[in-house]
Amino acid sequence: MQQPRKTTSILRGMTLLEMTLVLLVLLTLISVGLFSSKKYGDWKLARAASEGLRDVYSAQRMYLADNPTVAVTSLTTNMLLPYLPNNATALPTVKSLTGVTLTYNVTVSPPLLLLNGATYDPSGSSSDSLWDVGE
C-alpha cells in the first residue's frame, strides 16, 4: 500500500520592502525617460531652426553673389525667395521652445531668429549651430 506523500508548500512571495524598491526603480526609470524625451524634443526644435537658418543664409549669399551692389541691410524676404532651396515659396517655419512661431531677420548676415523683435537663441551660444547658423 502506498503511503500518502507529505506535501509541503513553500509560499514564496515578495515582501513589502522588495515591492517598494521595485516600484522606486520603475519610477526612476520612467522619470529619466520623460526627462530625456523632453530634452530630445528641444534638440529637434533647435536643429530644425538651424537648418532653416542655413537655408536662409544660403539664399542670402546667393542673392548677394548675383547682386553685389545690394547692401545686406536692404534685403527683404521677397528678394531671397527665388534663392531658397527646393523652390520654396516662403521662408522655413521655425517654432520656439514654447511653440511660438519665430521670424527671421534677413537684414543681417548671418540671419537671426526673432521673438517679439528680440534675438532668439535659448542655447546662449552663437557658435553652437543650434538656434543660429554658427561660425
Please indicate, yes or no, if residue 68 is contained in any of the structural domains: yes
Please indicate, yes or no, if residue 52 is contained in any of the structural domains: yes
Please indicate, yes or no, if residue 5 is contained in any of the structural domains: no
Residues 71-129 have pLDDT tens digits of 999 999 999 999 998 888 889 999 988 889 999 999 998 899 999 988 888 888 878 87
Cell numbers standing for residue 104? 527671421
* CA distances from residue 47 to 20, 100, 111, 120, 123 in whole angstroms, order as listed: 40, 16, 15, 14, 11
Q: What range defines the domain where residue 82 resides? A: 18-119
pLDDT at 79: 92
pLDDT at 105: 92
pLDDT at 32: 86
Give the mean pLDDT of the chain: 86
Please indicate, yes or no, if residue 78 is contained in any of the structural domains: yes
| Total number of domains in the chain | 1
